[in-house]
């Protein structure tokens, strides 16, 4: 493979317990053959279902990073595009980044579509669980089935 023909690859697939940096994912997929790079950042919001959220806690299965890599490999292979994904675990405050996904493509439409597909697949297929802590002291597990 030449430098200009990097092909569909997983450039980054990681689960971390520290702050995420969107520029890292963007740099991982960027190349001179790509005119479009889409970077998605998922942030902790202050509400859900009409309740005020104070913090979130993400927990991951011990093999969650392997599942993340598999999902990224499948999306890269089916789209023919380079992808990157990083998910956070641990306690997160409002505004913290929970996930960063990046996809590069020659044109924007395929980059947007592939990025959205990758985010959806990660949420559905990677065993990472979210516990929302509400301002009233109650908490709730979200997507705890997988």
Residue 129 lies in a domain: yes
Which residue range is the domain that position 58 belongs to? Answer: 10-142
Confidence of residue 142 (pLDDT cuts 50, 70, 90): confident
Residues with Cβ within 8 Å of residue 34, at least 6 apart in sequence: 82, 104, 105, 106, 111
Residue 44 lies in a domain: yes
Q: How many domains does the chain have?
A: 1
The reported pLDDT for the residue numbered 144 is 60
pTM (two decimals): 0.91
In what side-by-side order are the strands of the sheet with 97-105?
10-16, 83-88, 97-105, 36-43
CATH number at residue 88: 3.90.1170.40
* Distance between CA atoms of residues 84 and 8, nearest Å: 11
The reported pLDDT for the residue numbered 93 is 97
């Amino acid at each position: 493979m030449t430098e200009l023909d990097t092909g569909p690859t997983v450039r980054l697939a990681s689960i971390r317990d520290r702050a995420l940096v969107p520029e890292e994912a963007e740099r991982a997929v960027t190349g001179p053959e790509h005119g479009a790079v889409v970077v998605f950042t998922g942030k902790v919001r202050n509400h859900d279902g009409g309740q005020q959220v104070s913090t979130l806690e993400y927990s991951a299965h011990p093999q969650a990073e392997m599942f993340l890599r598999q999902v990224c490999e499948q999306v890269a292979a089916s789209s023919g595009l380079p992808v990157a994904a990083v998910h956070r675990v641990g306690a997160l405050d409002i505004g913290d980044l929970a996930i960063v996904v990046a996809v590069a493509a020659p044109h924007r439409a395929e980059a947007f579509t592939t990025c959205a597909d990758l985010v959806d697949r990660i949420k559905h297929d990677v065993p990472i669980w979210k516990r929302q802590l509400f301002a009233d002291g109650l908490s709730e597990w979200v997507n705890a089935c997988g």
